[in-house]
């Protein structure tokens, strides 16, 4: 089972585990987020992001948001791997360095990780995905795309997609209600049957 390690006391030496979490703690200082490194030495294969988030929520007593950092792959079935995952309700996000690393360019690795962390913190702040390439909330599928994705949000900042999704959800609920009402009326009229034209007294 992965072990959560607070960034306090984690070495700043880039060759030691947890140093990337220390870098994020420094880069995100003042953002109101706590950072923990996930030690996954005992487990092979990807970490289930949802399980780790649930465990962190049960183990950590914290007043603010929490960002978990791991060197292992993370996944949320059916997706095989993710750069990051955020649970807005619990206020916890997890990011992975597994597919972000550039062995001969540690600065690019750190920049990619900061980009992913900023994206996931955006989700914790209520932002949804954005289609604009000038927005950190744009979805990406390859590490190279992180090199050009900015750290800032666009004018919509992902909120216009949240509003659109809310509008679509509202319309869907109304449509389901309308179909249900029509269905109930049809069933009722079927059971009642046709009444006589001239009722007999």
Q: Active-site residues: which are they? A: 120
Give me Rg for the CA atoms of the chain. Answer: 24
Q: Helix (H, G, I), strand (E, B), or coil: what is residue 41?
A: coil
| Site of tokens 């109930």 | 184
Q: Helix (H, G, I), strand (E, B), or coil: what is residue 36?
A: strand
The phi-psi region of residue 184 (left if phi > 0; otherwise alpha if psi is between -120 and 50; otherwise beta) is alpha
Q: Helix (H, G, I), strand (E, B), or coil: what is residue 25?
A: helix
């Amino acid at each position: 089972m992965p072990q959560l390690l607070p960034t306090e006391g984690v070495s700043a030496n880039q060759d030691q585990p947890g140093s990337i979490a220390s870098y994020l703690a420094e880069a995100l200082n003042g953002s109101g987020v706590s950072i923990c490194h996930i030690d996954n030495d005992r487990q092979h294969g990807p970490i289930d992001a949802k399980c780790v988030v649930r465990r962190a929520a049960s183990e950590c007593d914290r007043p603010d948001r929490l960002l978990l950092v791991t060197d292992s792959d993370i996944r949320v079935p059916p997706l095989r791997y993710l750069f990051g995952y955020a649970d807005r309700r619990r206020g916890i996000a997890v990011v992975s360095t597994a597919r972000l690393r550039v062995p001969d360019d540690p600065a690019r690795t750190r920049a990619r990780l900061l980009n992913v962390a900023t994206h996931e913190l955006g989700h914790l702040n209520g932002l949804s995905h954005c289609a604009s390439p000038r927005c950190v909330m744009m979805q990406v599928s390859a590490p190279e795309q992180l090199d050009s994705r900015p750290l800032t949000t666009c004018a919509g900042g992902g909120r216009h997609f949240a509003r659109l999704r809310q509008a679509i959800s509202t319309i869907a609920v109304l449509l389901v209600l309308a179909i249900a009402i029509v269905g109930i009326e049809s069933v009722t009229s079927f059971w009642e049957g046709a009444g006589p034209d001239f009722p007999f007294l």
